[in-house]
Amino acid sequence: AMRYQNPSIGSALEKLAKQGVDDLLLIPLFPHYAMSSFETAVERVKELISKNHKGMSLKVQPPYYDHEGYIEALSNSMRPYLEEPFDKLLFSYHSIPKRHVTNYNAQTKSHCLKTEDCCEGCHPVHDVCYRAQCLKTTQAVVERLGLKPEQFAISFQSRLGPEKWLTPTTENELDRFAKEGIKKLLVVCPAFVSDCLETLEEIGIRGKEEFISKGGESLQLIPCMNESPEWINALESMVKDFTGDQVGKV
């Protein structure tokens, strides 16, 4: 089901109800926690269940930004593109307003974005910190792929409006790379499990055109995992880990 398109969450719940389903596990297809994505999906499902399906119970798969299955599937989807020569790999995550990070609760207000290393190590706020989770995904992937620090960078794309969002922006990084003599650029978008306008058009078309116009030679967008068998297997393993392998058993 989709949050803002069809098939809608409401229609999916109706279909499940007609099949006699009363025990649900929700997996938001957002690997990282953010109020504007993961949380809104969860709250919408809760709202519709409360309104139309009061007999249904609901469990929610937590963000899986560091789950072994997700990291393995993501890393393996990238491997073929790393076999050819490249100058830099950019991890481009969907951006969010800084206030979404800092204003979650009292702890995030006092900790998040206060220092450059606020997302490092372990801290209770990282359970709801989008930036920290993006950094942890990146670190897990580069370790698995054996990349050196100078081979990759992190940025945030798709900013809207005048307020302050997470930085550095992907747009600025593409410009900087071209000016620094980076010629062959790879871009992966781990916040998306399926390709969409933000990957195919914003990065694969506009981003590529901008990078080349500033002096770059090539920008290769690494496709999202989409419907790859390894990603489907990763979803299955997450469900089994979360439920104790009880889903679908009578």
162 shares a domain with 99: yes
- pTM of the shown model: 0.94
- Number of structural domains the chain divides into: 2
- Domain extent, residue 14, equals 9-63
On whether both 18 and 88 belong to a single domain, the answer is: no
Q: 73-130 pLDDT, tens per residue?
A: 999 999 999 999 999 999 999 999 999 999 877 888 888 998 988 998 888 889 999 9
Could you list the pLDDT tens digit for every one of the 250 residues in the chain? Answer: 999 999 999 999 999 999 999 999 999 999 999 999 999 999 999 999 999 999 999 999 999 999 999 999 999 999 999 999 999 999 999 999 999 999 877 888 888 998 988 998 888 889 999 999 999 999 999 999 999 999 999 999 999 999 999 999 999 999 999 999 999 999 999 999 999 999 999 999 999 999 999 999 999 999 999 999 999 999 999 999 988 865 544 3
Task: Looking at the structure, tell me whether residues 176 and 81 fall in a common domain.
Answer: yes
Same domain flag for 44 and 158: no
User: 153 in a domain, yes or no?
Assistant: yes
- For residue 212, give the CATH number of its domain: 3.40.50.1400
Is position 114 within any domain? Answer: yes
For residues 168 and 116, state if they share a domain: yes
Query: Are 88 and 166 within one domain?
Result: yes
Specify whether 217 is located in the same domain as 140.
Answer: yes
**Residue 2 resides in a domain:** no
Residue 247, pLDDT score: 53
Same domain for 31 and 117, yes or no, is no
Same domain, 95 and 170: yes
Predicted confidence at residue 51, as pLDDT, reads: 97
The pLDDT value given to residue 103: 82
What pLDDT is stored for residue 244 in this prediction? 83
Do 196 and 109 fall within a single domain? yes
Is residue 88 in a domain?
Answer: yes
Is 211 within a domain? yes
In a domain, 192, yes or no: yes
Residue 237 counted as domain residue: no
- Are both 147 and 209 inside the same structural domain? yes
Report how far apart, in Å, the C-alpha atoms of 135 and of each of 14, 54, 95, 139, 169 are. 38, 38, 13, 6, 15
In this predicted structure, what is the pLDDT of residue 151? 99
Residues 54 and 92 in one domain: no
- 157 in a structural domain: yes
User: What's the whole-number average pLDDT of the chain?
Assistant: 95
Instruction: Report the C-alpha gap between 102 and 81 in whole angstroms.
Output: 36
